[in-house]
Amino acid sequence: MNGGLRERKRAATQEKIERAAISLALEHGFENITVDMICEASLVSQRTFFNYFGSKEGVIIGGTPAMPNDDHIEAFTRATGSNLLADFLTMITSSLLEREPDAALFKARRMLIMRTPELLIKETARISEAEDQFVAIIMTRYEVQGLSRANQPELEDEARMVVALTTGVLHYVRRLWASSQPGASTRDLLGNSIELIHRITNDHPQQPKGTARRP
């Protein structure tokens, strides 16, 4: 079996389990469902379930968020462009676009997480962990450019602001996508958002002469 077919079959099995779990949780309440119920509804064994998800919470929240691969991180940290925010969002979307999300599944998952405090706490913790990883990547770019916290202590604050702005852009794209017609492309929406960032940041009028823009 070639790698592409194997990955497609794996993605299909994962989505089948997720759909069954979320449907059951919406019907019966998250606290009232079991792994056995999910396995029965999705026609998989417990072994298969735990190969994909480590817990009942994990299947509802979803798999580990896709992180940029080493090549994308290397390209970002060594980039010489002036628009850090756009470069960072481009790197993030490169991993997000590897699998086009399903709109109905996305909406159902968000609804369930937002109404289940236990899941919301876990999702928040996972997001926080990912943000710390992203900040570390941005700090590496600063270091490659010869910038240092020793003489510029605000660098980490800047890195966290870039991550926060990127999170805001992604929320904006998700809202557009969720309210779009069926079949709307997240790739196009993200691409348009990156173009907006370029327009807003690079074409901002009247930067004072002699003011250097940090890369």
H helices then E strands: how many in the chain? 10, 0
Among 178, 145, 180, smallest CA distance to 159 is for 145
Instruction: Read off the tokens for 12.
Output: 């299909």
Written as tens digits, the pLDDT of the chain (215 aa) is: 566 788 788 888 998 999 999 999 999 999 999 999 999 999 999 999 999 998 999 899 876 666 788 898 999 999 887 789 889 988 887 766 665 567 778 888 889 999 999 999 988 888 888 899 999 999 999 999 999 888 888 999 999 999 999 888 888 887 777 677 666 677 777 888 888 888 887 644 444 444 444 44
Instruction: Read off the tokens for 109.
Output: 């998952």
Instruction: Read off the tokens for 34.
Output: 């079991």
Residues in the chain: 215
Neighbours of 209 (CB within 10 A): 5
Q: Beta-strand (E) ranges in 50-112?
A: none
Let me know: does 66 contact 96? Beta carbons within 8 Å. yes
DSSP 31: G
